[in-house]
Amino acid sequence: MKRKIEQFIYPGKVKIISIPKRQLSPESEYPELIGLEGKIAAISGNSVGIIVDGKYNKHSQFGWYWFDSECIEKINKETLENFIREKAVDEGFLQDWYQNSVAQEQSPVWSDEHISEVNNDFYLIPKEDIDGKN
């Protein structure tokens, strides 16, 4: 069976946690990439080429950004589960947000029972925790 190189590279998402150690120009966009996610596209020596979600490196033939391996971390199921648990809101937040932010005469009215049921069935994470938008 013939194997493709992609089978040997971690197929999941990675998160950029620091900038490369090499000298960066003052105009470099690398500092803005910290915290963003992407996928490994290639490995060359000690450098890892990353396709960063929503970004394109105009200085790279394929649009990849190059990092030292210690500049990235794998995003696995455990990482995602921990993030969800840290960011999920509780009943008190939902009661304050949905019950106190709308006039009582507006329809529909969220009751404590509605809030409790939603909170028991779903992990609710504010958009600002994901993309920084309110």
Domain count, the chain: 2
CATH number at residue 37: 2.30.30.70
Look at residue 128 and tell me whether its pLDDT is greater than 80. no
Q: Quick one: 27 and 55 in the same domain? A: yes
pLDDT at position 85 is 82
15 Cβ neighbours under 8 A, 6+ residues apart? 35, 36, 37, 72, 73, 75, 79
pLDDT above 90: residue 111: no
**Could you report the per-residue pLDDT of 13-62, keeping only the tens digit for each?**
899 999 998 888 888 999 999 999 999 998 888 889 999 999 999 999 99
Domain-embedded: residue 131: no
Task: Confirm whether 121 is domain-assigned.
Answer: yes
> Is 63 in the same domain as 112?
no
pLDDT over 70 at 9, yes or no: yes
User: pTM score > 0.75 for this model?
Assistant: no
Tell me whether residue 134 is in a domain: no
Structural domain containing residue 9: 5-74
Q: Side chain identity at 124, as an amino acid letter?
A: L
